[in-house]
Amino acid sequence: AQSVTQLGSHVSVSEGALVLLRCNYSSSVPPYLFWYVQYPNQGLQLLLKYTSAATLVKGINGFEAEFKKSETSFHLTKPSAHMSDAAEYFCAVSEGRDDKIIFGKGTRLHILP
């Protein structure tokens, strides 16, 4: 069965520093992977998705993620954090069955001035 593990329920970085949010997945078939962002009291917005076309995926707001099959990872990075990046981030995996997507428990990103 597919699953997602996000390491760290809270991550704090200084403004201008590198952002690294970790995601590991488990899947019995080549997966499709997603990163979503959620601002307080709002729905989820897609940041980027991996669909096997390229292992390095660029998304919105300067974020990118790299698919590493050998490590079963899909970590999210951004070179320089901005105060507006403070939000909760969800990694998700799909095996394409029943349209279901499995979400991780989320990582709340705090940006320190």
Partner 1 sequence: DGGITQSPKYLFRKEGQNVTLSCEQNLNHDAMYWYRQDPGQGLRLIYYSQIVNDFQKGDIAEGYSVSREKKESFPLTVTSAQKNPTAFYLCASSIGAGVYNEQFFGPGTRLTVL
Interface residues toward partner 1, by CB under 8 A? 9, 32, 34, 36, 41-46, 49, 51, 90, 94, 96, 98-101, 103-106
d(CA 58, CA 73): 16
Residue 16 beta carbon to partner 1: minimum distance, rounded to whole angstroms: 29
| Closest by Cα among 28, 24, 70, 74 to 51 | 74
Q: Coil, strand, or helix at residue 83? A: helix
Q: Residue 22 or 32: which CB sits closer to partner 1? A: 32
Q: Residue 14 or 45: which CB sits closer to partner 1? A: 45
Q: Residue 97 or 113: which CB sits closer to partner 1? A: 97
The DSSP element (H or E) to which 75 belongs, if any, is strand 73-78
Residue 103 beta carbon to partner 1: minimum distance, rounded to whole angstroms: 4
Residue 101, φ and ψ in degrees, nearest 5:
-115, 135
Q: Residue 72 or 108: which CB sits closer to partner 1? A: 108
Residue 43 beta carbon to partner 1: minimum distance, rounded to whole angstroms: 4
Q: Coil, strand, or helix at residue 77? A: strand
